[in-house]
Structure 1
Amino acid sequence: MIFRAATADPADLDRAMAYPADGPVPALTAERIREELASDQFRPEWIWFAEDEKGEILARALWWGRADSARPLVLDCLQVRTGVADPVAVASGLLAAGHAVFGALPAYNISLPRDWRSDPVLADAVAWRREAACRAGLSSDIERLRYEWTPAAKVPVPAGKLSFREGTDEEFLDAFIRLSSGSLDQHTQNELRSMDVEQVARQDIEFYLNCPGERSWWRLAELPDGTLAGLAIPSATPYHRNVGYLGVVPEQRGQGLIDEILAEITRFHASQGADRITATTDVVNVPMAAAFDRAGYAVTEIRLVLEAPPK
């Protein structure tokens, strides 16, 4: 078995795009791959093949990154040709080969319909991918709901419970630190096992600073007396406006303030002409999911995230 990256040779890229999108797990179309290559979010060195001794492609892995990424951030697509006797072995070998070159273990995102567990064929396809990822070092998993807002859901009207203002870097750092207490976000919980709360907060801030959104969009949420209630971080992806990060400080939770903070983010994006706003939250974060439901956001898919466990 040979594991290798595609080269700048157009023939290699053509082979990557011509690979059959078979199997029940949704795969990227050739058109989408071309678009990602053109925007430098896929690169030949991030597209990997598993080949047999005759040069036949048995598996394909496509890693994604932002245009300014030095290395890939996430595995976007993993396929093994139907009929391969041991897809776990082929897929895990392919991932391990890529990881060794990247010097990192990018997470693997699998996009699925909400009822994917009720389809035995789809569930089996997820199972071997999960096992392959685990063997390659991605042994932690988080299941997320992907939401989407469109103007059909209507722009929310301010409830008047909170006011929003710009804040200093120090104020946002303090807010991020306070929000981490009792957080139901699995990523935050995992990070707090290996880092202190300020390190996690600084890492989160750095992440959102590096997203396509603007720092000037960020807002602190306050009660009428000026008491901090939470924060709103409208953001963006390379494709759509995004909810980003939001939350209520522990001492103000349970009063429905999350609805007003989410509404502020929605209003902000809508005021700038956004016709689609995406968002994700962990399946286990029931209060946040309920807030999205109340705000007219609709679930479009389940995103199963396989990643390296916290050190």
Structure 2
Amino acid sequence: MTALTFRPLVAGEEDLFDSLPDPLPELRQASYADGLASGGFHPSRAWVALRDGAVVARAAWVLPPGAQGEPWLERFDAHDPEIGAALLRAAHEAFGLVPPYYAAAPAHWRRRPEIKDLLAVRLGAATRAGLVERGERLRLTWAGAPLPATSGRYRFRPATGDDEINALVARVGRPDVVTGAETALAVAGLDLATDPLPWLRTATWLVADEAGLVAAAGDHCYPLIGYLGLLDDAAREELIAEAVRVLAAGGAREVVADVDSYRVEVLAALERTGFRQIRSRVTLSRSEG
């Protein structure tokens, strides 16, 4: 069998990277060329496994311009877990570090055998290369569904300022929703669960007194619920709906929200408010061993 070659790309090899057909075209993923144009991808962080000049595995790590953290694996395809693992190990050695991997999959992927098998190859390769699965986050989107009527129980108002936002975040402890947490950590070194304000400073922060707060952000990649923290679980759906109303009034036709897959009560509330799952991201990071 012809030997495998593992190497990074050089400038002008966009077609080589894209020569491997995308097995999940239904996912919203930036192309390699678009990633280069935006500055997130770079040839030195895009690697291929070649056999007889043909790509049999590929991987691209992204790091947005000006980011303070380390890159993460965004695009990864391999038909064989051993080849995929060997590609990742070669790149890790060149990088001098083992970046995290956010493995994207369509919503409800475990119910689809062909997608489940594909993810098993990717996750198996990453595990062989020294990564450990840490959890799964789901992305949901609202796209114009009717919103539930308010009960009148809560009064929503703008936050009075940074001090009130930070004080409420400290009281919440574990927020229901933090959207774009991976990007905030890599780009700005911020944990959105404990320090969301610097990342979401331009968002509209709404407070329901003694019930919680929510950040409706309309000027990120997508209009989104950036943060949702509760002091009263009964206010969950109303805070979600109020954030969507604010964004829709500003012209948003779609609103996204990210939530950990095990937070079933939050998922149910989002779905009752008209959100639907569109994507999953399984998080893997370096083994402490």
Structure 2 vs 1, CA of residues 208 and 88 (structure 1 numbering), >3 Å: closer, same or farther? farther
The match for 1:194 is none
1:230 to 182, 196, 212: 212
Describe the shift of the 1:31–1:104 C-alpha distance in structure 2 as closer, same or farther (beyond 3 A).
closer
Question: 2: distance between equivalents of 1:102 and 1:206?
Answer: 29
Higher helix share: 1
> Would you say the 8 A contact 1:17–1:30 is kept in 2?
no
CA distances 1:261-293 after superposition (whole Å, capped 9, x unpaired):
112221221122111111121221111111111
**Alignment map for 1:159-178 (pairs within 5 Å):** 159-160=151-152, 161-178=154-171
Show structure 1 runs of 5+ residues with no match.
Answer: 187-201
Partner of 1:197: none
Q: Across the two proteins, how many residue pairs are aligned to each other?
A: 274
After superposition, what is the alpha-carbon deviation per residue over 1:190-215, rounded to whole angstroms, capped at 9, x for unaligned?
xxxxxxxxxxxx632556634xxx51
Is 1:244 equivalent to 2:226 in the alignment? yes
| Shift in Å, 1:241 | 1.2
Aligned: 1:293 with 2:271? yes
Structure 1 residues 264 and 144 mapped into 2: Cα distance closer, same or farther (>3 Å)? same
In the alignment, does 2:36 pair up with 1:37? Answer: yes
Task: Please show how residues 1-311 of structure 1 align to structure 2 within 5 Å.
Answer: 1-8=4-11, 10=12, 12-21=13-22, 23=23, 25-26=24-25, 32-52=31-51, 54-69=52-67, 73-80=71-78, 82=79, 87-100=80-93, 101=95, 103-114=97-108, 116-151=109-144, 153-154=145-146, 158-160=150-152, 161-180=154-173, 203-204=191-192, 209-210=198-199, 214-223=200-209, 228-235=210-217, 239-249=221-231, 252-253=232-233, 256-308=234-286
User: Aligned Cα RMSD in Å?
Assistant: 3.4
- How many angstroms does 1:61 deviate by? 0.8
For residue 171 of structure 1, give the secondary structure of its aligned residue in structure 2. Answer: helix
Q: Percent identity?
A: 27
Normalised TM-score (structure 1): 0.74
Tell me, yes or no, if the aligned pair for 2:100 and 2:283 is still in contact at 8 Å: no
Please give the secondary structure, in 1, of the residue aligned with 2:244: helix
Give the CA deviation at 1:233: 1.9
Counterpart amino acid of residue 209 in structure 1:
P
